[in-house]
Every structure is written in structure tokens, then in C-alpha cells.
Amino acid sequence: MKRILLSIISLIIITNIYSQSLKNGYVQASLFYPVGTSWTKSKEKQFNFSLNLLAGYTGQIKGVEIGTLLNVNKYNMHGIQLGLININKGNMKGFQVGPGVNWIEGEGVGANFSGLFTYQKGRFTGLEFSWFVNINGGDFRGGMGSHLLNYVQKDMYGIQWALGPNVVMGSTRGVQFSWTVNYTKGYHNGFQFGPFFNYAGESDGFQLGIINVAKRSGGFQAGLINYSGDSAVVPIGLINIVKGGYNKFEIWSNELTSFNLALKTGGRQVYSVITVGVNPFNKNFFWSFGWGPGIHIPFSKRFYADIDDVTSLVNINEPFSFGAGKTTITNQLRLTCGFQLTPKVALFLGPTLFTLFSNNNSLEHGGEFNANGTELAPTFRTFYGKAGEFDYAIWPGVCGGIRFF
């Protein structure tokens, strides 16, 4: 311990002699402020090299600063700064590593890495990563990553990545990627991916998550639940809530399922379809539920066309039949043309193309339960085949019904 203390004192004395021979205090060393080569004057000088064995307080760095516990700069830091805690009351330009905290009260350009917490009051341009939290009080341009939280008070241009939330109180142009929540209060242009929730005040980009919300959107949304206050959005989801969008309810029939209900929700041209169908007249009772995308094409106030592509799970002779030896799936591509009887009621009719896949070989046929699910297909105009463990049937058909709202 005595040797270490003597070495520290010797280093301070030697560095002090050297620094006195240079203008503007180019080199300094300190044990802790003000115990160092420049004493209390260190906070008013610029240094090219600063060594702080415990804690140092300098005016400005243009070069390299190394500290074990704490580095404090009264003005700017241009260069490389290494320490457990780095505090710069001016601007930072260069490379900053703090296993604990990096704190910049001015603007920053370069790379900033911290173990616990990074705070940037002004604009930052470059790469910023913190193991836990990044907070920027100005604009951010570049790449930002953390495990807990990324927060930008103004605009963000670039990439945000976090296990926790990404929050931008201004506008975002770029990518927000989070395993929880992405939030942009202003305008968003780019890509938002958050498995749970994405929000944008106004969006012309792409939102992908379980729940996507945009007050105004002319972009794309893909998720279980999509909300937009603008019907120009293109939503693909189980439920789409779009102000002024395409929200219709249909009752229809075809040769496979006698009674069908459909809910169509989406934007002006693109929507999603949820369907439920049943056929109580077949000796093998079955019902189906499905989902798919659709396109609405208006020709005039009274005439329109819808193109739907719906995939359904068919449950045969039991409430739910799915799994090994029980699965039957259909896909129907249909083109329907409609005529508006009143502003809220329309009739529609059109052709369909059905494809049915089944590995369910326990349907009744001729008093025995050994028929495949393709037994449900109409025997006329049907093409049969086999693909691996699945039998399939393909046939053209027709559907028609009535639409409300």
C-alpha cells in the first residue's frame, strides 16, 4: 500500500513538472480534485491528456482523459474519455465510455457507451448505447440502443433498439425496434416493430405489432388490432378500427357452407375479413372460421367489386378438429360484384375458387367412418389429388349474399 501511494505521489510530481513546461497545461494528473498537478486551476485549463486516479475536474479536453471513478469537464471534451462516470457540461465530440454514467449537457458527436445511464441535453449525432437507459433532451441522429428505455425529447433520425420502450416526443424518421412498446408522439416515417404496442401521432410508415395505433395514417399496419383515424391506411389485422374506413357486415352462402357471416374492417381500399360458416344439412356436420385480406374496388355510388382471399379451418363432427389426422383447411379466392340497394344495404354475387386440404380420414360415407375430408367437396367439377399426408380437392364455385352498413 505504501509503494502504491508513493508511486501516485511521484507521478503527480513528475507530471506537474512536465505540465509547467508546456503552454496551456497540456498534461495533468490528479488523485482527486483539487489534489493534482494543476490544483484548483485545472478547471480553467485545456488538456491534451488527463489522468484522474480517483476523480478529476478539468476545464476542457482535446485528446485523452482517463479516470477510474469520475471525470468532470467544465466545458468541452473532444477526443477519448474513459471513466466510471463522465460528466461534460459542454459539448462532446469523439468517443466516450462510462461503465456507470455518461452525462453531456451540450451537444454530442461520435460514440457514447455507458453501463447504467446516458444523458444528452442537446443534439447527438452518432452511436449511443447504454445497458439500461438513454435519455436525449434534443434531437438524435444515428443509432441508439438500450435494454430498459430509449427516450428522445425532440426528433429522432435513425435506429432505436430496446428491450423496453422506445419513446420519441417529436418525429421519427427511421426504425424503432422494441420488444415491448414504440411511441412516437409526432410524425412517423419508417418502420415500427413492437410485439405488444406501437403508437404514432401521424404515420406514413409501417407498423408491425399486436396492437398498432395511429391518429392519422397513410401507411401500413399489420397486427391483431389496428386503429387509425385516417381511412387512407392499409391495415392487415384480425380487427381493424378505421375512422371513415370500410366497415361492413355480410351474410352469404356457397356450395360448401350454407350459412356464412363475415365482418370486413379496414381502410378505403384494403381490409381484413373474419368469417364463420356452417353446414347443418351434411351428414358430417361441420363448421368453419377463417380470416383473410381483401380489396375493395368502387366503380360508382351503386356498383363495386370485392376481391377476398380467405383461409378457414373446418371442424368436422366435433366442436374443434385440428391436429394429427383431424385437420381440414380451405382457401377460397372470390370475386364478388355488388349493387347498392340503399346507402346501407347491398346485394352481391360472384365466382369463387376453392381449395380444400384434409388429413381427416374419419368422415362418414356409406355407413362407415373412413372417408377423407375431401368428401365435403361437391362431386361435380372437382379435381382431386394428394400432397404428402393431405388429400386435396379444387373446384370452382359461386357465392352470393347481402351486405349491411
pLDDT in tens, 153-174: 999 999 999 999 999 999 999 9
Alpha-carbon separation of residue 392 from 278, 288, 325, 355, 382 (angstroms): 20, 17, 14, 7, 10
Residue 17: its H or E element: helix 2-20
33 band by pLDDT with thresholds 50, 70 and 90: confident
Question: What's the average model confidence in pLDDT over 265-286?
Answer: 91
Alpha-carbon separation of residue 74 from 79, 88, 227, 381 (angstroms): 15, 6, 49, 85
Confidence at residue 2, expressed as pLDDT on a 0 to 100 scale = 52
Confidence at residue 369, expressed as pLDDT on a 0 to 100 scale = 81
Residue type, 156: M
The ranges of the chain annotated as CATH 2.40.160 are: 246-404
CB 293 within 8 A of CB 304: no
Name, in order, each residue with C-beta under 8 angstroms of 386's C-beta and a sequence gap of 6 or more. 392
Share of the chain above pLDDT 90, in %: 70
- Residue 246: pLDDT over 70: yes
3 band by pLDDT with thresholds 50, 70 and 90: low
- Residue 9: pLDDT over 70: no
CB 95 within 8 A of CB 110: yes
Q: Angle at the Cα of 158 (from 154 to 159), degrees rounded to 5?
A: 105
16: helix, coil or strand?
helix
Residue with the larger pLDDT of the pair 23 and 328: 328
Q: How many residues does the chain have?
A: 405
Give 206's DSSP letter. Answer: E
- The CA distance from 306 to 74, in Å, is 67
- Residue 13: pLDDT over 60: no
- Residue 15: pLDDT over 50: no
Confidence at residue 73, expressed as pLDDT on a 0 to 100 scale = 92
- Tally Cβ neighbours within 10 Å of residue 317: 16
14 band by pLDDT with thresholds 50, 70 and 90: very low
Question: What's the average model confidence in pLDDT over 251-268?
Answer: 93
Q: 298-316 pLDDT, tens per residue?
A: 999 999 999 999 999 999 9
- The CA distance from 181 to 170, in Å, is 16
Question: What's the average model confidence in pLDDT over 170-193?
Answer: 96
Strand partners, 97: 82, 113
6: helix, coil or strand?
helix
Q: Angle at the Cα of 271 (from 267 to 277), degrees rounded to 5?
A: 145
- CATH number for the region 246-404 comes to 2.40.160
Give 25's DSSP letter. Answer: -
Question: What's the average model confidence in pLDDT over 370-390?
Answer: 87
- Residue 11: pLDDT over 50: no
